[in-house]
Structure 1
């Protein structure tokens, strides 16, 4: 039985732009040039309508055990038949390239958009949170994908609480010469450079990690510079060298009078001398948020087995979950 659609393969923004169908929605074909997938697939019906899409990466995909990984990202679909069509075509193409495991959704790198929101809860979407139609994860599981990793966001509504154990650890760290300061917006690029360099070391052991080109990292942070409150970005330094940082930002999706801060990233240089620094940074960020008049802090997008989730459990209750999927090829 033949499929009731065609699979269109594109490699450049110009090729994709020849198909101005509604499915493209807010997907800018220029993103292909920035993210450089190895190909882009689309499902096209006989009447010319596009009903599903996905980009593939296999040349620069992340390591995972003994597998050769192929990444599937930029996914969208209007219904399950087209979704399964593009996902099956993606898996065949990745297998043809020697991949043994397909993972997604991931736009080529965990520095970019990845994960499906799989349990929504009651809270509204927050700033920089991935979102998707609720049926999309089901499209993947119906095509044979299984859970690779789970992530959670948690909410702290009690910013008055300060963990005495964490504060004692902070005193010890201060005695060792670790000092906290805020992001310096007057020297934004200097501080970003230090944050970028530390991130490359701190995240190297994370699931599906690959290095992010410097120009892309700076580009992402330049787009949000005007939304940053420097009091909520903490840099930990020892001997004038950055050894950890916490990046938090107000949840501007709630409006200019938002009561919520999002802890987006906590990164610590791997070193025994900074044990306990992550917890100290989180505690100080919550104190800073409280002092600025905020009443809630979201601990965002934590891996189920990451130390950040254990830190969060001191204060916050999970309210949302996300999933990365895998499929043996």
Structure 2
């Protein structure tokens, strides 16, 4: 048998390469709409892909002191192939002037990224990243180390509020009004949410702005699953200044389990000067979840330095899943 060979195909289109049994299709992990700069394939002596990944370097997230390139859309049949694949990918990024390889990440943090590295055994929830258990081990074997960590936490919806009556009164007196999403104006509401997201997340780790059209397209995919009551929008003097987006865990419901309410995104415009608004938004969506029969909430995919972890702690959240993003100096 011949030694495995590699192919680097620049552009977002997909070359016609058969895939070995048990390997995911490349487009299932990173579609051409994600505008990768190249794809890397390891092939066997029959010309079948036994490992593949996608590369982004022309518009990778900024990181002070580095020129990053990202590796995503990854799959491999075994550890040896994975190590070879990642070596080819990092060597190519190095030749292009990148100084740090980051992954798994499909170009930016708005898309698929992170690996599960620890779990209580609870089943996966809706919109959660997932991966074969060996993948982070293989990345470690290829010389990658953890760059950042994230967690998802579970907490009871016991009716306990984290916001004091005095703070709630102060926010209301300052002009804060909280309302549900208007489903009849779904796209317009998404435009408003997008604008607040850009303001709120601009200082986040590896942040890159996302075009409005792409943001709207991603939320249109879940429109039929969204309960407008679980998207709370805060306004001050008629201007939107924050929101919380929550959704029922329909994936666990499909498994016959009692679903939790997933608190997926919380954002507050820093210029609104509304200290405590994030906590109030979470209290509101927790209260509505409890009224609609939910007994648990999941605060999903929080970065290890995210200030929202303080809100999770006040609600007695306990981490049940941990994730990591990896990097390798080039």
Length-normalised TM-score, structure 2: 0.94
Q: Say whether the 8 Å CA contact 2:12–2:38 is kept in structure 1.
A: no
Give the match for residue 93 of structure 1.
92
* Deviation, structure 1 residue 29: 6.5
- Report the CA distance shift for 1:114/1:45 in structure 2 as closer, same or farther (over 3 A): same
Counterparts of 1:132 and 1:164, CA distance in 2 = 37
- Runs of 4+ that moved beyond 3 A: 11-15, 20-24, 29-32, 256-259
Give the match for residue 249 of structure 1.
247
* Deviation, structure 1 residue 310: 1.5
**1:76 maps to 2:46:** no
Counterparts of 1:23 and 1:16, CA distance in 2 = 19
Range moving further from structure 2, 153-162 or 35-44:
153-162
Q: Say whether the 8 Å CA contact 2:264–2:300 is kept in structure 1.
A: yes
Q: Say whether the 8 Å CA contact 2:17–2:49 is kept in structure 1.
A: no
1:56-78 CA distance string (max 9 Å, x none)? 11110111111001111111112
Length-normalised TM-score, structure 1: 0.94
* Deviation, structure 1 residue 202: 1.1
RMSD (Å), alpha carbons: 1.8
Give the match for residue 5 of structure 2.
6
Give the match for residue 286 of structure 1.
286
Give the match for residue 310 of structure 2.
310
Counterparts of 2:166 and 2:39, CA distance in 1 = 52
Give the match's secondary structure for 1:263: strand
1:170-198 CA distance string (max 9 Å, x none)? 22111100110001101111111100111
Counterparts of 1:148 and 1:198, CA distance in 2 = 27
Gaps of 5+ in 1: none
* Deviation, structure 1 residue 99: 0.6
Q: How does 1:150-229 map to 2 (within 5 A)?
A: 150-165=149-164, 167-229=165-227
Counterparts of 1:216 and 1:224, CA distance in 2 = 14
Counterparts of 1:269 and 1:130, CA distance in 2 = 27
Q: Say whether the 8 Å CA contact 2:242–2:268 is kept in structure 1.
A: yes
Give the match for residue 145 of structure 1.
144
* Deviation, structure 1 residue 30: 9.9
Give the match for residue 42 of structure 1.
41
- The alignment covers a number of residue pairs equal to 326
